[in-house]
Amino acid sequence: MAPDSTAGRPRELHYRYDALLDVSKSILAHRDLNDLFRDLSRLLRRVLRFDFLNLVLYDPALHAMRLHILETESPHDGPPYDYLPVSDSPSGWVWETQEPLVITDSWSDDRWPVVMDILRRNSIRTVCYVPLTTAQRRLGAIGFGYHEPDAASPEHVEFMQMVAGPVAVARNAAILLTDGSDQAPETAAYLARHADDTRIAVGGPADTADPTVSRALVGPDRYATSAMAALAYFPAPSVIGVATGLDFPDGLVAGPYTAARGGPVLLVPPTAPLPPQTSSYLRSLSGPVQSVVAYGGSSAVGGSVAAAVQGAVKGV
């Protein structure tokens, strides 16, 4: 999301970026989905106005979409059902197509009549669903809505897609930060609560911080380490993210979102040439890459680096 000429736009992006970092921290603090969504609703309201937020998960036994969580500050009538067949739910359409869906006005939309009736009874005019998906599994959808018609801007939808990435990954895994080569107290406490989970260290300091890891991905520098992780888990990606290797927030925010879309985030220097391990990984890819996404704008990832990445991969 690049800043435009609107005066307040860069500040708005800064706040949303901070909110994504807070989302990552909230995921570390909450393993219970109800607690997590309650906290997410609080965090997201700082940067995005909405009248409800919900989580709908796919139930493979029933081939249906089940409403798990609904967060709203308004009095509301709950749905008179526990689940709906995939074909009868807008979240089911999102689960099947893996595309975001915006219903601009529930009062004039005649698709999914059961859901439209619930929205109308609660005076919800606009509703949007974004896919909740990891690289390995389609989980469901996150929905948010407004009392006003046509209230979900493209920026809102894009932001919620970025929120959905780390939430989806959190269903199967968590990203923990170390304090250099030491375990931060929060990280140590989390690991103590999940002593039987598989642990993977990315980078030398993380490997030193926890010598009990199941696997360590450690290169001679951070650029090589990111390429090693990409090769280990994304040998045939459909999308590749690139983020500056000079600081961590861009990569931290971009990682879960890009992984949910089926690709890695490579750390890169501010200007070309690309590090040798990065070039080697990109040229090793056999299948076409559909897109390359640079996080942080041109001030973080220079045009020469973006061009070098695009030139090294097939299909872009």
Among 158, 190, 218, the domain-final residue is 218
pLDDT of the residue at 63: 95
Q: How many CA atoms lie within 13 A of 128 on its CB side?
A: 24
Contact 164, 98 (CB under 8 A): no
- Per-residue pLDDT 10s for the chain (316 aa) are 333 333 444 556 566 667 777 777 777 677 677 888 888 888 888 888 899 999 999 999 999 999 988 888 887 777 778 899 999 999 999 999 999 999 999 999 999 999 999 999 999 999 999 999 876 788 999 999 999 999 999 988 988 888 887 787 666 667 777 888 888 887 888 888 878 888 889 999 988 988 888 899 999 999 999 999 999 988 989 899 999 998 877 887 788 778 877 889 999 998 889 999 999 999 998 778 888 888 887 888 888 998 899 888 865 5
pLDDT of the residue at 114: 94
Among 170, 204, 231, the domain-final residue is 170
3 in a domain, yes or no? no
Q: What does the alpha-carbon distance between residue 152 and residue 148 come to, in Å, rounded to a whole number? A: 9
Q: What does the alpha-carbon distance between residue 278 and residue 22 come to, in Å, rounded to a whole number? A: 29
The overall pTM is greater than 0.75: no
Asked if residue 118 and residue 133 are part of one domain, the reply reads yes
Question: Distance between terminal CA atoms of the chain?
Answer: 20
37 phi and psi, to 5 degrees?
Answer: -70, -35
- Give the CATH number of the domain where residue 139 resides: 3.30.450.40
4 in a domain, yes or no? no
Asked if residue 155 and residue 109 are part of one domain, the reply reads yes
Asked if residue 200 and residue 287 are part of one domain, the reply reads no
Burial call 92-109: b when 16+ CB within 10 Å, e when fewer: bbbbeeeebbbbeebeeb
pLDDT of the residue at 88: 96
Asked if residue 285 and residue 272 are part of one domain, the reply reads yes
User: Which residue is listed with tokens 């650029």?
Assistant: 223
pLDDT of the residue at 1: 33
Domain span holding position 235: 220-312
Cβ neighbors of 92 (< 8 A, separation 6 or more) are 58, 64, 65, 84, 85, 86
Q: Is the dihedral of CA 69, 106, 96, 1 positive or negative?
A: negative
* Amino acid symbol at 291: S
- Between strands 291-294 and 239-244, the pairing is parallel
User: Which residue is listed with tokens 């360590």?
Assistant: 216
SS3 per-residue string spanning the chain: CCCCCCCCHHHHHHHHHHHHHHHHHHHHHCCCHHHHHHHHHHHHCCCCCCCEEEEEEEECCCCEEEEEEEECCCCCCCCCCCEEEHHHCHHHHHHHHCCCEEECCCCCCCCCHHHHHHHHHCCCCEEEEEEEECCCCEEEEEEEEECCCCCCCHHHHHHHHHHHHHHHHHCCCCCCCCECCECCHHHHHHHHHCCCCCCEEECHHHHHHCCCCCEEECCCCHHHHHHHHHHHHCCCCCEEEEEECCCCHHHHHHHHHHHHCCCCEEEECCCCCCCHHHHHHHHHCCCCCCEEEECCCCCCCCHHHHHHHHHHCCCC
Asked if residue 137 and residue 33 are part of one domain, the reply reads yes
- Structural domain tally of the chain? 3
Asked if residue 247 and residue 98 are part of one domain, the reply reads no
Asked if residue 161 and residue 42 are part of one domain, the reply reads yes
Asked if residue 295 and residue 263 are part of one domain, the reply reads yes
263 in a domain, yes or no? yes
Asked if residue 53 and residue 37 are part of one domain, the reply reads yes
Asked if residue 156 and residue 253 are part of one domain, the reply reads no
pLDDT of the residue at 113: 95
- Report which of 241, 218, 254 is spatially closest to residue 291, judged by C-alpha positions: 241
